[in-house]
Structure 1
Amino acid sequence: MNTNPCKEREPKVIDSKLLQKCIEEQLPKGELGRLMKTEGVEQANVEQLRLEFLNIVKMDHLWVLKSITVLKLNNNLIEKIEDLENLIHLEDLDLSFNKITKIENLDTLGKLRILNLYENRIEKLENMQNLKSLTIFNIGKNLIKDKETVHHLRRIPNLISLNLADNPCTEFADLRIYVAAFLPTLIWFQYKKIYPEERENGCTKFKQQIIDQEELEEKELAKILQKEREDREAELNMDSFVEYLNTRHLFDKMYENDAEGKLLLNLGDDVMEAYNEFQENFVNYCREIFDIGQKHYKIRQDEIAAFFRSTSLVKHDSQQESIKYMEEFVESKNILFSKVNYLQRDLMEGYIEKKEFDVDIVQKTEEFNQLIHVTWKKLMKIELILYEQMDEVNQTFERNLKEMIANLIEESQNCFTQLRDLEQQYFERVSEVANKMFAGIGIIDDLVIPEVLDELMSDKDNVLNCLAATHDTHLTVIDTREDVLMFRAREWFDIFTKNLFSSEIDRNRYKILELNHFLDIQRDEFAELITPPKEIEIDESFS
C-alpha cells in the first residue's frame, strides 16, 4: 500500500486509532500474528508498546493501556509529560529525543525502574520523589546547569545508575566525585562504575556541603512530618468543620500567592513589627474558631447519641408489642389448625359426612380470616403510632440541630469578623508606613530604600496597587474559609436530616412489607392445610 510521505511527517496526537495501528504492527510475525490480529488485541491488555518516530506532539489516550509495563515514546515532538497517571504498572519509560522542558506528572508511577529523558530541554531535576523503585535514570544532553540539582535524587532510595552527560553542569571539574558523595546508593555514573576511593574523595572534599544538605533535609523532613500530622489531625476534625484552624495554616494561606504582601515586608522594622503582631493575633483567633467548632461538635455528638438511644428504646418497645401480638396470633392459629386437622381426620375415618366437613371448613376459614384481619389491624396500629411518633421526634430533633448549626455559624462569624478587622488594621499600618516612605523620597537625606522596593517606590500608583492587591488577597482567603465552614456545616445538616427522615420512611415501608409477608405466609399455610390431596392416578401400562 502506498503511503503519503508528507502525511506521515504531520504532527500527531495519540488517539485510539494510532494506538491500535501500532499494536497491530508490533504483533508477532507469521501465523501467530495473523491469528492475534483476527481475534483482536485489547488495548487494556497490552504490556509493551513502541510509539517511536511518529512525530507525536501530545501524549494523550494512554490511560487505556492499563497493563503496560514498557512504553517507548522516543524520537517524537513531545513537549509535556502527561496522561500517565493511570499507568501504575509501568516499569520502563523512554521519552528520549523529544522537546520536554519539565519533569512532571510522574507521581503515580511507583513501579517505574527505568526512565530515559535523554536529549530534551529540561533545566532541573524535580517532581521525582515518588519514584521509589527507580534504578536507572538517563537525563543526558539536556539543559541542566546547576550541579546541586542532583540533590533532588537523594529522595530516590534505589537509584544505582545516572547519566548526566552533555549537560552544562558537566563542565564542573569535580562533578563525578560530587555526585558520588551526594548520592550514596549510586553505583554507575555516566555508565562508569563509581569506586570507593572516588566516593571517599567526594565526601572529604564536600564534607561541609553534605552536612548543610543533611541539615536542610532534616528541616524539610520535619516540615513534611508536621504537615502529615496536621493532615491526619485535620481529617479527624473534618466533622467539626474547623480543620487546620488550630494551626497557622490560614495565615500562611493568605501569603501563599501574595507576592505583593511578601514584598511589602521589606518596608522596614515598623512593618515587620506590625506583621508579627498581626500574625500572633490572627492565629489566636483561628484557634478560637477551632475551639468553637470542637465545642459545638461535642454538643452535636452528645445530642445525636442521646437521640438515637431514646428512639432505639421507643422502637424496641414497639417491636416487643408487635412480637406479643404475633405470638398471640400464632397461638390462636395453632389451635385453629389443630381443629382443622381433627376435622380432616374425622372425615377420613368416616365420623362426619363431607357436607358437614365443608360447612365446618367454611366456618374455620372465616375464623382464620377474622384472626388475620384483627392481627393485621393491631400490628398496623402499632406501626402507625410509631411512625407518627418518629416523625414528630425527628422534626423536633431537626429544629434542635438547625439551632445548633446556627449557633456554631454565628459564633464562628464573630471570630471571622475579628480576623477581617485585624487585616484592616494591618493594612492601614502598612499603608501608613509605605506612604511615609514614598513621601520621604528626595526629601529625607538619610532615607534608604531597599533595592527590592526600587520598582515599587518609583510611582505612587504602584504603591497603592500593591497595597490594594495584598489587602484583597487576604480578605478573599478569610472570606473563602468562612464560606467553606458555613457551607459544610449547612451541607452536613441537610444531608443528616434528609437521611434521618428517609431512613425512617424506609424502616416504615420495610416493616409494613415484613408484616404483610408474615401474614401472607400464614394464609398460604392455611390454604395448603384445607386443600385436599389429589388422588394418585395409576398408569395402567404398568399393571
Structure 2
Amino acid sequence: MAVTDPCKAREPRVIDNALIEKCLEHQFPKGEIGRLMRKDGIPMDELQEIRMEFMNILKIDHLWVMKSLTKLQLNNNFIENIENLDTLVHLRELDLSFNKINKIANLDKLVNLEKLSFYSNLIVKIENMDTLKKLMIFSIGRNEIEDPENVYYLRRFKMLTSLNMAHNPCARDNNFRIFIAAFLPKVVYYEYKRIEESERDEGTNMFLNKLRAIELVEELEDAKTANIEKAKADAELHSVSFVEYLNSRYLFDLLFEDDEEGKALMEMGDEVQEFYVEYEEQFIDLCKQIFDVGQKHYKIRSDEMDNFTKTVEQAKKENQEESIGHMENFMEKKNDMFSLIRLLQKHLDNDIIDVAKYTQKIEEFNEIHNELIHDTWKKLMKLELQLFEQVEEVNQNFEHTMTDMINAFIEEAQALFTQMRALEVTYTENLADIGARYITQANLGESFFIPEVLRPIMADKEFLNNAIASTHDMHLQIIDNREDTLVGRAKQWLESFCTGLTKDEIKRNRYKLLEINHFLDIQREEFDECSDYQLGIDPEEDDHFMQLP
C-alpha cells in the first residue's frame, strides 16, 4: 500500500481543474442529497460560491471557469499576488486573509464587491481600490500599515460601514480608534464594535485642523472630478454629432501638449507671444465653428429621421389594421363554420343524420375551410409584400437623403479644417521670420541672452529650420487626425445606419411571414381538433376517420 508523502501534500500549488473539483467535493452536503449532487455535478459556470481554504495555493489561476461566482474564499494559503480575478465581475465577497500578499492590485473589474478581507498579510499601503464603490465591509487588520493617513484613502467609499485595521503598526496609537471615528464619518463599526457619537465628537475636536484641511482638498478634487465627468458626459452627448471636445480649447492644447520645440520657440520674445495669442484665438474660434456645424447638421438629420420614422410607422400601422381586418373576417367565417359542425354533431347524436352523411359534410367544410385559409393567406401575403416593397423604397430614398446630409456636413467641416491648416501655415511662417531675425541677432551680439531651452535650437540655422518644420508637421498631423476622425466616424455611422435599416426590415419581414403562416397553421389544427372531437370516435378504431383532413 502506497504511503502519502506529507511534505509533498503540503507543497505550494496553482489553482487548476483538479483542485477546484477537490474543493467542490468538500462542499457537497452529506447523505443522499450529497450523493445525488455528486452524481449530477454542478456546472462550473453556474457555481456561485467556493471555499479554497488551507489548500497551499501559491498562485491564483483558472477561476475564469466560474464566471458566476459571488463568494470566493482563498484564506489561509500562500498567495503572494492578487491576479486573474478580472472575469469574476459578479463577486460580492472575497476573502484573502492569512496569505502573503504585499500589495493591493488588480481589483478594478470587481465593481460589485461588498465584503473584502486582507486580514493577516504583508500589505503596507491601502491603494488601487477606486472602482469598489459598493464596498461595505473591509478588513485589513494584522498587516504592515504604518502611516495612519492611509485611512484618508477610505473616505471615498461612501457605503463603507465596517472596518478593521487592528494590529497594524499605525493602530498602536491609543487615539487610533478616535482617529477613525473622526476621518471616516460613514463607518459605523470599527473592529466590529459600534462607534459612539461621543467618540466621533472627541475625534472631530482632536483632529479638527487636519480634518478641515482634508475636506478642503477633497472639495477641490470633487470639483475637478465633476468637471472631468461633465466633460466626458458632454463629449458622449456630442459624439453623436462627431464634434466632441471641439466646443473648447482641447484641440489647440493638444497641438502643444507634446511639442517641446514649439514651446521653446515661444521664448523668442514678445512678438512670438503676440502671434501665439492671435493664433490661439483664431484656432479655437474655428474649432467652435466646426462644433456648431456638427450640432446644426445633427439637428437637421434628427428632424429628418423623426419624419422618416413617423412615415414608416404610419405605413406599418395602416398595413397592420388591414391585416387584422382580413384575420377578423376569417375568424368570423370560421366561427360560423364551427357552429355548423357542432350542430352536425348534435344531429349525429340524435340520429337525425348518419355517420356517412356527417363525414361527407365534414369533408365539404374542410374544403371550404382550406379555400378560406388559402384566400386569407394570399391577402395577408399580398399586404406584407406591398409593405415590404414600400418600406424598401422609402429606406432607399432615405439612405440617399442621409448620404447627402452626411456629405454636406463633411464638406462644411472640411472647409473649416482647411482654414485651420492655413492658420497653422501662417503661424509657422511668422515663427520662421522671427526665428531668422532672432538667430541673426544672437550671432551678432555677444551679450545677447538666449534662454536655456532655446540654445540647442539656435545652434545654427539648420537646427532652427528643423525645429520649426518639426513643430509645424506635428501640428498638421494632429489637425489631420482630428479631421480624419470626424470624417471616418461620420461615414462609419452612415454605413452602419443604412445597413441597420436593411437588416431590420428583412428581420421584420421574416417575422411577419412566420407569424402569418403560424396563425393559419393554428387554424388548420383547430379545424382538425374540432371535427375529430365532435365526431367522438377514436381515430385508431376507424381508418376512415384517420384520413379526414
Give the alignment's TM-score, normalised by structure 2: 0.67
Q: State the AA in 1 paired with 2:260.
A: E
**In the TM superposition, what is the alpha-carbon distance from 1:536 to its structure 2 partner?**
8.0
What is the SS of the residue equivalent to 2:445? coil
| Identical columns (%) | 35
Give the distance between the partners of 1:118 and 1:535, measured in 2 at CA: 80
Query: After superposition, where does 1:324-363 map in structure 2 within 5 Å?
Result: 324-352=325-353, 354-363=355-364
The answer for the alignment partner of 1:408 in structure 2 is 409
Alpha-carbon distance in 2 for matches of 1:41, 1:386 = 50
Comparing 135-144 with 80-89, greater Cα deviation is found at 135-144
Secondary structure, aligned partner of 1:237: helix
Distance (whole Å) between structure 2 residues aligned to residue 444 and residue 318 of structure 1: 90
Alignment gaps of 5+ in structure 2: 171-175, 191-198, 540-549
1:365 lines up with 2:346 in the alignment: no
Measure how far apart 1:510 and its partner are.
Answer: 2.1
Distance in 1 separating the partners of 2:349 and 2:228: 86
Change in Cα spacing, 1:200 to 1:456, as seen in structure 2 (3 Å) is farther
| Counterpart Cα distance in 2 of 1:52 and 1:255 | 56
- The 2-side partners of 1:457 and 1:74 are apart by 63
> Where does 1:473-512 land on structure 2 (aligned, <5 Å)?
473-512=474-513
- For 1:231 and 1:514, locate their aligned partners in 2 and report how far apart those are by CA, in whole Å: 44
Whole-angstrom CA distance in 2 between matches of 1:229 and 1:282: 23
Matched, 1:264 2:264: yes
2 CA distance for matches of 1:4 and 1:161?
A: 34
| Match in the other structure for 2:393 | 392
1:533 aligns with 2:535: yes
Does structure 2 conserve the Cα–Cα contact (< 8 Å) formed by 1:126 and 1:152? yes
Conserved? CA contact 1:91–1:114, under 8 Å: yes
Of 430, 446, 449 in structure 1, the residue corresponding to residue 448 of structure 2 is: 446
Q: What is the CA RMSD across the aligned residues, in angstroms?
A: 5.9
Moved more, 428-437 or 241-250: 428-437
Counterpart residue type for residue 228 of structure 2: K
Q: Which residue of 2 aligns with 1:232?
A: 233
User: What does the per-residue CA deviation read over 1:454-480, in whole Å, with 9 as the maximum and x for residues that have no partner?
Assistant: 455456665555444443443333333
The CA deviation at 1:373 is 2.1
Q: Does 1:302 align with 2:333?
A: no
The answer for the alignment partner of 1:191 in structure 2 is none
2:61 and 2:83 in contact (8 A); partners too: no
Provide, for residues 340-375 of structure 1, a one-character-per-residue CA deviation record: whole Å limited to 9, x for no partner: 444444444444555555444443333332222222
Distance 1:395 1:98 in 2: 62
Task: Indicate the residue corresponding to 2:546 in structure 1.
Answer: none
Shift of residue 113 of structure 1?
7.5
Asked if the contact 2:330/2:372 (under 8 Å) is kept, the reply is: yes
Name the amino acid aligned to 2:407.
A
| Distance in 2, Cα, partners of 1:455 & 1:382 | 79
Shift of 1:77: 8.5
Amino acid at match of 1:328: N
Instruction: State how far apart, in whole Å, the 1-side matches of 2:43 and 2:378 are.
Output: 61
Corresponding residue pairs, total = 510
C-alpha distance in 2 between matches for 1:2 and 1:354: 87
The answer on 1:243 being equivalent to 2:244 is yes
Aligned-partner SS, 2:447: coil
- 1:245 is paired with a residue whose SS is coil
Aligned-partner SS, 2:415: helix
User: Match of 2:173?
Assistant: none
Flag structure 1 segments of 5+ consecutive residues without an equivalent: 167-175, 189-193, 538-543
Give per-residue Cα distances to partners, 1:247-273, cap 9 Å, x unaligned.
2222233344x0515642651444333
Corresponding residue of 1:381: 382
Letter in 2 for 1:422: L
- 1:429 aligns to 2:414 (yes or no): no
Q: What aligned pairs does 1:131-146 form with structure 2 within 5 A after superposition?
A: none
Counterpart AA for 1:533 = L
Q: Is 1:93–1:112's contact at 8 Å kept on the other side of the alignment?
A: no
Contact 1:245–1:289 at 8 Å: present in 2 too?
yes
Quick one: distance in 2 between partners of 1:508 and 1:484?
36
CA displacement at 1:482 relative to structure 2:
2.3
1:364-397 CA distances to partner (integer Å, 9 max, x unpaired)?
3333322222222222212211111111111111
* SS of residue in 1 equivalent to 2:535: coil
**Distance between the aligned counterparts of 2:84 and 2:51, measured in 1?**
18
Aligned counterparts of 1:74 and 1:353: Cα–Cα separation in 2: 87
Structure-1 separation of matches of 2:422 and 2:289: 15
Alpha-carbon distance in 1 for matches of 2:131, 2:344:
83
Does the CA-based 8 Å contact 2:268-2:435 persist in structure 1?
no
Contact kept, 8 Å, 1:72 with 1:95, in 2: the verdict is yes
- Cα deviations across residues 126-163 of structure 1 (Å, max 9, x unaligned)? 8676678798989999999xx99999898788899799
Cα distance, 1:86–1:421 mapped onto 2, change above 3 Å: farther
The alpha carbon displacement at 1:432 in A equals 4.0
Q: Which amino acid aligns with 1:227?
A: I
Q: Deviations over 1:179-214 (max 9, x none)?
A: 99x98989x9xxxxx9x999999988x99xx87x87
Structure-2 separation of matches of 1:198 and 1:285: 55
Q: Note the alpha carbon deviations across 1:99-130, whole angstroms, 9 max, x for none.
A: 97x9897696876878799999x9x9986766
Q: Distance in 1 between matches of 2:494 and 2:154?
A: 48
With structure 1 as the length reference, what TM-score do the two structures score? 0.68
